[in-house]
Structure 1
């Protein structure tokens, strides 16, 4: 993490975070600066550009580029992609109907419910998806500087005044009105701003690969909830196979972990073991492009906003603790952030009125807080070595499994809305409210 130097009198001098350097004098003024151009950042750029803001995206990678991900797109994600005008282009290539859950001697089919988000899911490799959304952002009028590192900031009373970026050999000073940070799970720029990941809360470790398969167009996502390592030990996580409709499936596995109960598993080795067990049934080729990542989840980060800046999506740990899904939350938080900025500054574009420091985490807590706290607690239970072997057979088998697992799949798909009034939704909200009271000191975008 880069060092932060504070002046003795902050009212008279700026604060520097990182090695601020723009000696060549090249300065760029912009209204909305977005750090990161994945689905979250590019979606924010589309919404910002459509709202009439001068918008610049910077990303350390050069596009097109790959990203560690399961590649699944839930109906909630498709719903957000519809608002960007991209859903039909994605679902015309491949669409899925829901989940098939396997484990403990049983299988349960859970179609996507006919919710406010629709009942169509899909999947697309991140290399393709990210480029698709970036291209849409460029068409909307945003600019992209890829291969560009955001290295440091100059902070004043109104938040970020300048950002030092390295674009090729040139150091450039960008002077934004507002900064949206969407640089992913590690959030290097977020750490410069003080973002802290609370690893005492449950987090995920995962690995993914691509395999050729004769069943690449299978219209169901498959999740194996009884995930065993080469010694036969059940791991606190699941394996997945997401058909992509392009000759490949995305095959991966993930495990849950905390500081107190770390997952003692090499996810890349676990992936190879899982792939070998699925090879015959799925007619799989050898796993390739194997990558891994760690995921902060369920809002377990702090310092996610300042007067004129906010962390979005994965950077703000807006990831479902039950399954690691975050693309839908990422694009959703992108839209919500731009809406909040627009409401703050009004039609007169009075940037001095912008106040995100308290309003952004408050909005995140209102939208996702109860559900994330409950999901984090359930995920934490899975890290207890004896919990899953005891609860798994009860949850998956017989009439209980036929009722329980479709409800669980709905929660894993982030498909419960505040407007839903059925029993599952009411139970989920009530449990989340109770958990919020019990764990009111648990970090949640604090």
Structure 2
């Protein structure tokens, strides 16, 4: 019988399968889409994520960055926080997934082109996609069909604007070895160095509009960007949202949730992949010990800092007078800002 049947072949699912294989478990991944899979993503790995992927035997390709820079999108005021425990890495989502898929294959993890469909379980096993396993791991993304099918999705809070993410690549040499977060009216723009001649620009906003409309709210940033190519790599815009997704639980019998499927606050602090790969390790530890119910507490402990800081920044973002002062406050309190950056970095 399969030990871990993993629904989803993105970074969270592959990291879970790799953790499982390294722990001596048989892991099978279900992913109907061909590898590599692209999606809207800031594509910046914090130092903690870089380290955890290396512990799995995966070296993320891309370009190193030394910290985070907040920039007022109109005035250009800056605040910088440098990492104390080594660099982060700007890495194309497709390159990261390809590296994870290669490592999983080296460890004997099978990837089957199947959808999960209906999930059934009893006290000893789970049935899905025509297969039987001891446990099913749902790593099927922000809008997890498994989470929804098991009735674990929590409705959105009425009256709270949904947030969305948009990403485009530009063929331009990075002008900084920091990830820049430009704060503008109602939106943030993230600039991540991805290689010697490529950057990624991701916009987070609660207003639905074309990418170039949002970019126009950051005149200093827009002035540094070339026109995107009419076709080919970097030409298209990827989108995702609503970003906030809540789950009633991370454990439902023998079904466990990891990555975005476990619940997501926002991309504002850039911790999604760090949490995903760390949680994948805790999930496998709990399963291997025969105590899957302990994973819920482990996930809450791992995600507490991310949830608290991200929720606090979102609270400030929803109050325009306060949001307009975020960069000013960060610049006036460099030690506090650097401390917050390093709290996220691990």
For the criterion TM > 0.5, the same-fold answer is yes
Q: Which runs of 5+ in 2 are unaligned?
A: none
**What's 2:239 paired with?**
292
Partner of 1:409: 341
Contact 2:174–2:198 (CA under 8 A) maintained in structure 1: yes
Q: How many residues align?
A: 338
Q: What's the counterpart of residue 243 of structure 1?
A: 193
Output the TM-score relative to the length of structure 1. 0.69
Assess, with a 3 A threshold, how the Cα gap between structure 1 residues 48 and 202 changes in structure 2: closer, same or farther.
farther
In structure 2, do the counterparts of structure 1 residues 272 and 108 end up closer, same or farther at CA, with 3 Å as the change threshold?
closer
Aligned equivalent of 2:99, options 116, 132, 139: 132
- Which one is further off, 41-50 or 324-333? 324-333
Aligned-partner Cα distance in 1 for 2:143–2:122: 25
* 8 Å Cα contact 1:204/1:324 also seen in 2: no
Q: Which residue of 2 aligns with 1:82?
A: 54
Residues 18-77 of structure 1: CA distance to partner in whole angstroms, max 9, x if unpaired?
xxxxxxxxxxx4221000111111111111112221210011311122121111111011
Matched, 1:94 2:63: yes
Consecutive unaligned residues in structure 1, runs of 5 or more: 1-28, 166-172, 228-233, 256-262, 345-354, 417-446
Answer whether contact 1:321 1:372 (CA < 8 A) is retained.
no
Structure 1 residues 194-232: Cα deviation after superposition (integer angstroms, max 9, x where no partner): 22134227863110011111x23742211112x2xxxxx
Aligned to 1:392: 326
Instruction: Provide the residue aligned with 1:219 in structure 2.
Output: 177
| TM-align CA RMSD | 2.6
Q: Whole-Å Cα distance in 2 between the matches of residues 277 and 223 of structure 1? A: 12
Deviation at residue 328 of structure 1 after TM alignment: 1.1
SS at match of 2:298: helix
Shift in alpha-carbon separation, 1:31–1:396, aligned structure 2, 3 A: closer
TM-score (structure 2 length as normaliser) = 0.88
Structure 1 residues 210 and 253: alpha-carbon distance in aligned structure 2, compared to 1, 3 A threshold: same
Q: Which has the higher contact order (CA 8 A, sep 6+)?
A: 2
Match of 2:255 in 1: 309
Q: Which moved more, 1:376-385 or 1:184-193?
A: 376-385
State the Cα distance separating 1:310 from its structure 2 match: 0.6
| Rg larger in structure | 1
Residues of 1 paired with 2:29 and 2:217: CA distance?
38
Match for residue 342 of structure 1? Answer: 288
In 1, distance between residues paired with 2:222 and 2:268? 26
